Amino acid sequence: MNLTLKIWRQKNKDDKGKLVDYPVSDISPDMSFLEMLDVLNEDLINKGEEPIAFDHDCREGICGMCSLYINGEAHGPDRGVTTCQLHMRMFKDGDTIFIEPFRAAAFPVIKDLIVDRTSFDRIQHAGGFISVNTSGNTIDANAIPVNKHDADTAFDAATCIGCGACVASCKNSSAMLFVSAKVSQFALLPQGQVEATDRVLNMVKQMDEEGFGNCTNTGACEVECPKGISLESIARMNREYLKASLKG
């Protein structure tokens, strides 16, 4: 496959940045999108040019690092995949592909296609945990009965990898799908009940302080989420938040 890539280049967070055209040739349809970028980078290095900076780690769809906005969609045109799982067979020979970093005020660009997503870490620190005594008397989690439906739904929410595709896809840069997944995974389990009130209030407060936008229920986040986190999570978080506000 021969392709034209229009890639966002930005030297650092203060640079204005611009799209730069890169022609690539002899790309195998079986390559992953990141492997295609590897080929381009090798070519750039051989020419003595600055390679394109992009995030990647596991390359098997679970680390959530590969935050690329490809042809106007987070992680590209395929569904239920991260960028490392996106294959070049999703494109046609001769295509022009736009590659941009995830855009949100709360995800500032560090360099080229790499964005700073530590705002997600700060939201997690605000309440995305349960306190467990680990002094040797810890109760085995499996000893507490949980009904199958709640256990499955909690697990579904816990599959969120925090990639930020929800924020990138949302026209408002809202992080509600991410936060709601983290709230849901604990709200559905008995272990999460003790800190339930503080958790949802603190995580939403931190989310707002980070500068994410307001959810208007467009559903773009749900469609683009590589792990299929549902809008049901957001509805659950809304209920949890209102319940917590009435208590607090």
Interface positions with another protein (CB under 8 A): 6, 8, 19, 69, 71-73, 77, 98, 100, 103-106, 169, 171-174, 176, 204-205, 207-208, 211-220, 223-224, 231-232, 234-239, 241-242, 245-246, 248
Least distance between another protein and beta carbon 170 (Å):
9
Least distance between another protein and beta carbon 186 (Å):
17
Least distance between another protein and beta carbon 150 (Å):
14
Return the number of the residue (3 or 106) whose C-beta is nearest another protein.
106
Q: Please check whether residue 14 is in contact with residue 1, taking contact to mean a CB–CB distance below 8 angstroms.
A: no
Return the number of the residue (100 or 156) whose C-beta is nearest another protein.
100
Least distance between another protein and beta carbon 182 (Å):
14
Return the number of the residue (33 or 241) whose C-beta is nearest another protein.
241
Return the number of the residue (79 or 139) whose C-beta is nearest another protein.
79
Return the number of the residue (124 or 172) whose C-beta is nearest another protein.
172
Least distance between another protein and beta carbon 220 (Å):
4
Burial of 92 (0-12, 13-18, 19+ CB in 10 A): exposed
Least distance between another protein and beta carbon 176 (Å):
7
Return the number of the residue (59 or 124) whose C-beta is nearest another protein.
124
